[in-house]
Amino acid sequence: MPVDASRLEAQGLSRVGGRPPYFSYMREVFQRRDFIVSLARYRIEAENQRNRLGVGWVLLKPILNALVFGLVFGILMKSHADTPFFIEFLLIGVFLFEFFSGSLGAGSKSITSNSALVQSLSFPRMSLPISVVTQKFFQLVPTMALLIIALVVMGHRPQLEWLLLIPLLALFYVFCLGMVLIVARLTVHVRDLANLIPFLTRFVFYTTGIFFSFDVRFADHPELLEIVQYQPVYAILSLGRSILLNSDPLYTMDPTLWWITGAWSIGLLVIGSVFFWRAEERYGRVF
């Protein structure tokens, strides 16, 4: 005689791989925070242990990217001519964008690249994309410290306003996490999406003003400037530059960008977490 599953659930039993209620699920994810942090640190070590410079590549990679972009766009295409503090402008853009592109690229494959783990162990699958974003954030922190040192060397005096980087980076983490939760689930169902992510990040890179100033380049098109400020990555980069380069009038902080960044970050986190949670039962069955 078959057993009624609903009666067993009433006794506190649940199906293997079943999806718990949303808030119970999120509580379980929080309880796995030590696992998430450990997995993030392990990935950093695993990615660099065979390299002679080891974790030094965490700092060297964004520096090399900034040098390449500075040479191509700053000198050959003369973007530096109309952008005050161009080197600082470029460094801030490249260092921050590296976190976004790295999170999106690795996070999109956080479930599909861990099929054995997903199928063999019982744990909230959301832990995997969170660990990826946490890993990239751990790598971002020393690069931001290097950036601040570089700014001081280039003659920028530390200011109390620089502390605003802390809430900005926190919002950036939340924003990237929301994005990653969405693409991680989508990639499970549509594997080809992982191949499209690099093109998406490249499109965002070239339309966000990493190596040129929208305010200067499109000064004659105020309607375009009004639209672009609602692009979340642009808003975050603009805030970063306003915090660190506020001695120039071009980088005067627009408080509206904080509201835009906060709305995007919190909204994406809520949408992303619900979207990811709803497919929890399916992740172990789609490989």
Q: What is the pLDDT of residues 33-82, one digit of tens each?
A: 999 999 998 888 777 666 555 556 666 677 776 677 666 665 555 555 56
Q: Give the count of domains, the chain.
A: 1
Percent of the chain whose predicted confidence (pLDDT) is above 90: 39
The pTM (predicted TM-score) of the whole model is 0.86
Q: How close are the terminal C-alpha atoms of the chain, in Å?
A: 33
Q: What is the predicted pLDDT for the residue at 90?
A: 84
Q: Can you tell me which residue has the tokens 């902080």?
A: 253
Tell me, what's the pLDDT at 69? Answer: 66
What range defines the domain where residue 127 resides? 43-285
- Sole residue written with tokens 């992303």: 272
How many Å apart are CA 132 and CA 177, to the nearest integer? Answer: 9
pLDDT at 12: 46
CA atoms within 13 A on the CB side of 124: 26
- Copy the structure tokens of residue 74: 């700053």
CB 88 within 8 A of CB 161: no
Closest C-alpha to 201, from 225, 169, 176: 176
Q: Where are the alpha helices (DSSP H) in the chain?
A: 5-10, 22-31, 33-48, 57-69, 86-107, 115-120, 127-153, 165-189, 193-206, 214-217, 222-228, 232-244, 256-277
The CA-atom distances, in angstroms, between 125 and each of 38, 41, 104, 117, 272 are 15, 18, 17, 10, 13
Taking CA 243 as the corner, what is the angle to CA 242 and CA 249, rounded to the nearest 5 degrees?
Answer: 40
Amino acid of residue 118:
V
- 185 domain-assigned: yes
Domain contains 2: no
Whether residue 14 lies inside any domain: the answer is: no
User: Measured between alpha carbons, how far is 99 from 205 in angstroms, rounded to an integer?
Assistant: 12
CA angle 87, 136, 134 (to 5 degrees): 140
- The conformation of residue 103, written as its DSSP 8-state character, comes to H
Structure tokens at 127: 């832990």
Tokens of residue 123, six digits: 């744990």
287 residues of the chain, pLDDT tens digit each: 444 445 434 544 445 456 789 999 999 999 999 999 999 988 887 776 665 555 566 666 777 766 776 666 655 555 555 667 778 888 898 889 999 999 999 999 999 888 778 877 778 899 999 999 999 999 999 889 988 988 888 888 888 999 999 999 999 999 999 999 999 999 988 888 888 898 988 888 888 878 777 777 777 777 887 888 889 999 999 999 999 988 777 778 889 999 999 999 999 999 999 999 998 888 766 55
Listed residue (69, 72, 76, 106) closest to 91, CA to CA: 69
pLDDT at 224: 80
Of 233, 232, 227, 239, give the one whose Cα is nearest residue 264.
232
25 domain-assigned: no
Other C-beta atoms within 10 Å of 110: how many?
25
- Nearest alpha carbon to residue 243 among 231, 255, 251: 251
Which two three-digit tokens encode residue 85?
């503090």
Q: How would you class 194 by CB atoms within 10 Å of its CB: exposed for 0-12, middle for 13-18, buried for 19 or more? A: middle
The pLDDT value given to residue 138: 93
> What pLDDT score was predicted for residue 221?
74
Other CB atoms within 10 Å distance of the CB of residue 140:
24
Does residue 145 form part of some domain?
yes
Tell me if 24 is assigned to some domain.
no
